[in-house]
């Protein structure tokens, strides 16, 4: 990708972030509720057994606490959440066991809850562990998305590297990538610049629509 395209990414990220920071909490909560209902009624979500969900910032993005509590409830699913414990740019997904476990997470950078290394005196299960079931679906955050299912993240590359690493190092199939987007985060076709290593989403869920890739 050219220097111009990289610059376009940075400019777009800055513009969308400014817009998101101006949204009221009531607007975000209203949109979040509609998105949460869409996720819970989604056949792909209902059928999956092992799911990852991001831990949301206090503002400026779709809030995931309600989704997480639903997943930890009686839906019969196993939940994993992102964990960044090193400075090498790689992200793991670790298991969350109960609602009590989730509510005990301390707030970390940007106010995002951070999973502790252990739960009940045992090391948390990693999605890379040999005895771990395949990860079926990832609920993905981002700064912006477009109608062609491109994603603009926060610029660190955590998700793109994880998806590539998970599929290549474990030999497992790629999980379904389901992005959660506020209305203000969804752009028209082709407006999000993409690198070769950037993964497109399989699905984007907004308050009023579910966008999927056209069938071949």
- Is 157 annotated in a binding site? The answer is yes
- Is 38 annotated in a binding site? The answer is no
What is the token pair recorded at 177?
Answer: 């990538």
What is the token pair recorded at 154?
Answer: 């926060």
- Is 89 annotated in a binding site? The answer is no
- Is 172 annotated in a binding site? The answer is no
Q: How far apart are CA 108 and CA 95, in angstroms?
A: 18
- Is 61 annotated in a binding site? The answer is yes
- Is 183 annotated in a binding site? The answer is no
- Is 180 annotated in a binding site? The answer is no
- Is 151 annotated in a binding site? The answer is yes
Contact present, 203 and 178 (Cβ < 8 Å): yes
- Is 156 annotated in a binding site? The answer is yes
- Is 158 annotated in a binding site? The answer is yes
- Is 12 annotated in a binding site? The answer is yes
- Is 155 annotated in a binding site? The answer is yes
- Is 181 annotated in a binding site? The answer is no
- Is 102 annotated in a binding site? The answer is no
E strands, the chain, in order: 50-53, 78-83, 92-96, 118-119, 122-123, 137-140, 144-146, 151-152, 176-180, 186-187, 203-205, 210-212
CA dihedral 162, 170, 214, 16 (to 10 degrees): 0
Strands 78-83 and 92-96: antiparallel
Q: Give the residue ranges of the annotated binding site.
A: 9-13, 55, 61, 151-159
Q: Give the residue ranges of the annotated binding site for ATP.
A: 9-13, 151-159
Q: Give the residue ranges of the annotated binding site for substrate.
A: 55, 61
């Amino acid at each position: 990708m050219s220097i111009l395209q990289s610059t376009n990414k940075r400019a777009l990220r800055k513009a969308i972030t400014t817009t998101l920071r101006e949204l009221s909490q009531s607007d975000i909560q209203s949109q979040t509720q509609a998105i949460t209902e869409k996720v819970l009624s989604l056949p792909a979500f209902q059928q999956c057994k092992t799911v990852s969900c991001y831990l949301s910032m206090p503002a400026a993005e779709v809030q995931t606490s309600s989704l997480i509590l639903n997943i930890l409830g009686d839906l019969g699913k196993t939940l994993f959440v992102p964990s960044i414990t090193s400075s090498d740019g790689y992200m793991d997904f670790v298991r969350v066991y109960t609602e009590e476990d989730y509510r005990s997470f301390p707030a970390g950078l940007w106010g995002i809850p951070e999973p502790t290394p252990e739960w009940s005196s045992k090391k948390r299960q990693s999605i890379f562990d040999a005895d771990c079931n395949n990860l079926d679906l990832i609920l993905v955050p981002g700064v912006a998305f477009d109608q062609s299912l491109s994603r603009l993240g926060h610029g660190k590359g955590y998700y793109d590297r994880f998806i590539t690493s998970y599929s290549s190092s474990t030999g497992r199939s790629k999980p379904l990538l389901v992005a959660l987007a506020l209305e203000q985060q969804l752009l028209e076709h082709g407006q999000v610049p993409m690198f070769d290593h950037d993964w497109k989403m399989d699905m984007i869920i907004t308050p009023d629509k579910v966008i999927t890739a056209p069938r071949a």
